Amino acid sequence: MEQRKRNPAHQSIAREIGIAIATGHYLPGAILPGELDLAESRGVSRSVVREALRMLAAKGLIESRPKAGTRVRARADWNLLDPDLLAWMFEGEPPMAFVESLFQLRMIVEPAAAELAARLRSSRHVGRLGHALEVMEEAGLSSPEGQAADQQFHNIILEATANDLLISLSGSIGAAVRATTLFKHRKAKQLRDSIPLHRDLFAAITDGDPAAARAATVTLILQAQEDTESSLKA
Amino acid sequence: MEQRKRNPAHQSIAREIGIAIATGHYLPGAILPGELDLAESRGVSRSVVREALRMLAAKGLIESRPKAGTRVRARADWNLLDPDLLAWMFEGEPPMAFVESLFQLRMIVEPAAAELAARLRSSRHVGRLGHALEVMEEAGLSSPEGQAADQQFHNIILEATANDLLISLSGSIGAAVRATTLFKHRKAKQLRDSIPLHRDLFAAITDGDPAAARAATVTLILQAQEDTESSLKA
DNA sequence: GCTCATTTATAGTCAGACAAAACAACAGGG
DNA sequence: CCCTGTTGTTTTGTCTGACTATAAATGAGC
Nucleotide of closest approach to A57 (CA, C1'): C11
Segment A197-222 mean pLDDT: 96
Residues B28 and B137: their CA atoms lie apart, in Å, by 45
CB A22 within 8 A of CB B168: no
Q: Is the pLDDT of residue A186 over 90?
A: no
- DSSP label at residue B122: -
Q: A10-30: per-residue pLDDT in tens?
A: 999 999 999 999 999 999 999
Q: Given this model, what pLDDT does residue B171 score?
A: 76
Return the pLDDT at A179. Answer: 77
Average pLDDT, chain B: 90
pTM for the whole thing? Answer: 0.88
Residue A123: the pLDDT is 94
Q: Among residues of chain A, what percentage have pLDDT more than 90? A: 71
> pLDDT tens for residues B45-55?
999 999 999 99
Lowest mean pLDDT among A173-182, B124-133, B217-226: A173-182
DSSP class of B66: T
- Number of A/B CB contacts below 8 angstroms equals 119
Whether the per-residue pLDDT at A1 is higher than 60: the answer is no
Contacting residues of B for A57, CB less than 8 Å apart: 55
**Least reliable range by pLDDT among A185-194, A219-228, B30-39, B57-66:** A185-194
Length of chain A: 234
Between vectors from CA B57 to CA B52 and to CA B63, what angle results, nearest 5°? 115
* Rounded-to-integer distance, Cα B81 and Cα B171, Å: 9
Q: Taking Cα atoms as reference points, which of B3, B191, B188, B168 lies closest to residue B86? A: B168
Strand partners, A69: A65
The secondary structure element, H or E, covering residue B197 is helix B195-207
Residue A219: the pLDDT is 96
Percent of chain A scored above 70 by pLDDT? 94
Cβ pair A105:B59 closer than 8 A: no
pLDDT value at position A185? 67
Q: What is the pLDDT of residue A232?
A: 73
Q: How far is the CA of B6 from the C1' of D20 (A)?
A: 16
**Protein CA B48 to sugar C1' C24 (Å):** 30
Order the strands of the A69-72 sheet from edge to edge.
A31-32, A69-72, A62-65
Instruction: Tell me the chain A residues in contact with residue B76 when contact means C-beta distances shorter than 8 Å.
Output: 167-168, 171
Q: Do A81 and B51 touch (CB under 8 A)?
A: no
B4 CB contact with strand D at below 7 Å: no
pLDDT in tens, A34-59: 999 999 999 999 999 999 999 999 99
Closest residue in chain A to residue B7, using alpha carbons only = A65
pLDDT value at residue B121 = 94
Find the closest chain B residue to A6 by CA distance: B65
- Write the Ramachandran bin of A63: left for phi over 0, alpha for psi from -120 to 50, otherwise beta: beta
pLDDT tens readout for residues A214-224: 999 999 999 98
Q: How many helices (H) and strands (E) does chain A have?
A: 10, 3
Q: Which residue has the higher pLDDT, B3 or A151?
A: A151
In this prediction, residue B91 carries a pLDDT of 86
B151 in contact with A, Cβ within 8 Å: no
> What pLDDT is attached to residue B93?
79
Q: Is the pLDDT of residue B175 over 80?
A: no
Q: How many CB atoms sit inside 10 A of residue A102's CB? A: 25
pLDDT of amino acid A6: 65
Q: Which amino acid is located at B88 in the chain? A: W
- What per-residue string of b and e applies to B31-50 under the rule 16 or more CB within 10 Å gives b? ebeebeebbeebebeeebbb
* Contact residues for A103 (Cβ-Cβ < 8 A; gap 6+): A221, A224, A225, A228
Higher pLDDT, B174 or A56: A56
Query: Is pLDDT above 60 for A188?
Result: no
Q: What integer pLDDT is reported at residue A2 of this predicted model?
A: 42
Q: Nearest Cβ partner of A47 from B47, B59, B77?
A: B47
pLDDT of residue A3: 41
Give chain B positions within 8 Å (CB) of A104.
Answer: 116, 163, 165-166
Please tell me if residue A80 touches chain B, with a CB cutoff of 8 Å.
yes
- Work out whether strand A69-72 and strand B31-32 pair parallel, antiparallel, or are unpaired: unpaired
How far apart, in whole angstroms, are the C-alpha atoms of residue B179 and residue A40?
A: 42
Q: pLDDT tens across B150-172, in order?
A: 988 998 999 999 999 999 997 78
A51 lies within 8 A of chain B by CB = yes
Confidence of residue A174 (pLDDT cuts 50, 70, 90): confident
What is the spatial distance between Cα A46 and Cα B218, in angstroms, rounded to a whole number?
Answer: 51
CA distance A144 to A23: 27
d(CA B14, CA B52) in angstroms, rounded, equals 4
Read off the pLDDT band of B86 (50, 70, 90): very high
| pLDDT for the residue numbered A189 | 60
Q: Residue A201 and residue A218: Cα distance in Å, rounded?
A: 10
User: A234 touching B, CB under 8 A?
Assistant: no
Residue B70, pLDDT above cutoff 50: yes
Give CA separation, A157 vs A206, A213, A217, B69, B89, in Å: 11, 11, 11, 34, 25
pLDDT tens by residue, B94-113: 888 898 999 999 999 999 99
How far apart are alpha carbons A170 and A197 in whole angstroms?
19
Q: Which is more confident, B232 or B118?
A: B118
